Structure formats: structure tokens, C-alpha cells
Amino acid sequence: QLQAFGGGLVQPGGSLKLSCAASTLVLDYYAIAWFRQAPGKEREWVSCISSGGSTNYTESAKGRITISRDNAKNTVYLQMNSLKPEDAAVYYCAAGPNLITSSIPSALRYDYWGQGTQVTVSS
């Protein structure tokens, strides 16, 4: 029900904007989170935006990554700037209920997942 797209190959220091769109799910009612998973590593939470627009970021994302939503387009975005090689991963979007801050990074809290989009950061 969710589709993540917009990944690609970018040089270190470059930017990418990922999108998370839904076909049958109305994203207005959900918190939307982005996670990423690099080869050989566990899935890692990156950012979340609540249904009301409140945002949270993992420490490594602060200042470089911005999450936003356009309810009219039923889409959530992840603008990533100053990309580093360690940002390379498959990025997934997920939808779930609004959560208390301590629960936001838990993948188990989200009910719907997109298929992932590959981000490669390399010169």
C-alpha cells in the first residue's frame, strides 16, 4: 500500500529527495517514518513525521535530512542533503499510529511498509 521511490546514485555531499506515496491508504491519519538498512546491518530508524506534522530525527540525520508531508498529494518526502557514504542503504517508509517519542524508532510499531528504494553514495 506504500511505495517508496526516488533513490539513486549520488556523490558524497550530494542530495536526494525520496518520496513515499500510498495508493489506498490515506496518509493524513498516520505517522510516517523512514527507516534504512545497509547490507549486513540491522534496519535503522531515520526520521518520522506525525499526522499533525511533528518531526523527529535520528542524531546522524539532524541538520542534513528533512521530512515533510503533502497531504493533498498523499505523499511524504525525505529530503537528504550532504549525503555521506554511510547513508547508503535501502530506504523504507512505514505508516503507523502517532507514537510517544521513545517508541518512534521501533519498526515493530508500524503497520504498513513500502518496498524500499536504494540509495547509493559513491564517487
Q: What would the pLDDT profile of 29-58 be if each residue is shown by its tens digit? A: 999 999 999 999 999 999 999 999 999 999
Residue 73, Cβ density class (10 Å: 0-12 exposed, 13-18 middle, ≥19 buried):
exposed
C-alpha grid cell, residue 82? 550532504
Q: What is the pLDDT of residue 23?
A: 87
Looking at residue 42, its pLDDT comes to 96
Using alpha carbons, select from 75, 69, 68, 61 the residue that is nearest to residue 25: 75
The helix/strand/coil state of 30 is coil
Assess contact for 44 and 37: CB atoms under 8 A. yes
Q: What is the mean pLDDT of each run of 10 residues along the chain (123 residues)?
A: 95 98 92 97 97 95 96 96 97 95 91 96 94
